[in-house]
Amino acid sequence: MKIAVIGATGMVGTVMLSLLESRNFPVTELLLVASKKSVGKSLLFKNKAHKIIAIQEAVDAKPAIAIFSAGGETSLEWAPKFAQVGTTVIDNSSVWRMDPNKKLIVPEINASTLSKEDKIIANPNCSTIQLVMALAPLHEKYKMKRVVVSTYQSVSGTGSKAVKQMEGEENHLETPMAYPYQIHRNVIPHCDDFQDNGYTKEEMKLALEPQKILNDTSFSITATAVRVPTSGGHSEAVNVSFVKDFTLEQVRIIIKQTPGVTLQDNPKTNTYPMPILAHNKDAVFVGRLRRDFSQQNTLNMWIVSDNLRKGAATNAIQIAEYLVVKRLV
């Protein structure tokens, strides 16, 4: 199985390589692609040095799967070129997500919709993935009407420049600014670019992507996305109104039984999800379950996940694993 990783030296790309190794993905030949300045350098994979190559060289090698985490412009230009030579692309950028001809996949929810004809597969937004992982089984049981979500997103979601900004500010060092303001000891209600409607791109991703993943527009989502000074892990405060009523006991049972989701919900022992506990884990953690007394059939919940793992790299690798198991590549 010839595999290409595009953006291999980035924060997500590095985690992808680690997961390909730790999950024993059947790689027979690994093609590593990064920026032009990195070509010729080497990365270790299974204790063997692999040279970084130019992206055209990777296309010419016709890998079975190319996993992209190199930004939207790169994906827009190069994903179709890989697809043209028969490669199946799994793309972590946002450029293909809402394309009606491309599938937006969270394997536990909708991998069964994939076929050999799907040559460009979109990996959802990190915040979307953890949200739908928790909500999908509840939607199936109770039918969502409206979701209000406020996110608490780590600086790693922006990239290494943002991590360096926060660390520099903590240590009183001058570093390039990834944000328009200080992030250390601050909270910035601004994730991604603002749109004409006053929402940011991140907030609109949260509003639209779950409907596509669940193939259902009967519910609506409104979001506020906030950047917080944590180095890893995204958190979400979620308020969801259902058509049908529920009991908290039944909700807990459903969440416990959902693959990829872990319940952490015991106020008596201060048990609840936190980014520090989700670090380097692939699960989505759910807690702080309580009924909203101000609305009928409405639930409050708190969702946390490592945004570089299930929110990005793990989800992409799981898609690749599904393609291999089902012989779609």
pLDDT digits (tens, 9 = 90+) for 248-291: 999 999 999 999 999 999 999 999 999 999 999 999 999 999 99
What pLDDT is stored for residue 134 in this prediction? 98
Closest of 90, 91, 134 to residue 305, by C-alpha: 134
Instruction: For domain 127-307, give the CATH number.
Output: 3.30.360.10
Sorted by sequence, the CB contacts under 8 Å of residue 240 that are 6+ apart come out as: 135, 138, 144, 146, 147, 148, 298, 299, 301
Active site residue 191: no
Architecture of domain 2-123+312-325: 3-Layer(aba) Sandwich (3.40)
What are the distances in angstroms from CA 131 to CA 126, 192, 250?
9, 18, 19
Average pLDDT estimate for 155-163: 96
Count Cα atoms within 13 angstroms, Cβ side, for 201: 9
Distance CA 179, CA 193 (A): 11
What pLDDT is stored for residue 52 in this prediction? 97
Which one is catalytic: 50, 126, 139, 191? 126
What are the distances in angstroms from CA 87 to CA 52, 58, 82, 119, 313?
19, 10, 5, 7, 19
pLDDT tens-digit readout, 10-62: 999 999 999 999 999 999 999 999 999 999 999 999 999 999 999 999 999 99
The domain spans of the chain are 2-123+312-325, 127-307
Contact 248, 289 (CB under 8 A): yes
pLDDT tens-digit readout, 75-106: 999 999 999 999 999 999 999 999 999 999 99
Sorted by sequence, the CB contacts under 8 Å of residue 45 that are 6+ apart come out as: 17, 20, 21, 27, 30, 32
Confidence label for 146 from pLDDT (cuts 50, 70 and 90):
very high
Distance CA 75, CA 35 (A): 13
Sorted by sequence, the CB contacts under 8 Å of residue 114 that are 6+ apart come out as: 103, 105, 121, 319, 322, 323, 326, 328
With a pLDDT cut of 70, the percent of the chain lying above it is 100
Which one is catalytic: 50, 139, 191, 234? 234
Longest dimension (CA), the chain: 60
What pLDDT is stored for residue 253 in this prediction? 98
Q: Is it true that 2-123+312-325 and 127-307 share their CATH fold?
A: no
Active site residue 234: yes
What pLDDT is stored for residue 94 in this prediction? 97
Cα dihedral angle (37, 38, 41, 42), rounded to 10 degrees? Answer: 180
Cα dihedral angle (222, 157, 15, 98), rounded to 10 degrees? Answer: 40
pLDDT tens-digit readout, 171-208: 999 999 999 999 999 999 999 999 999 999 999 999 99
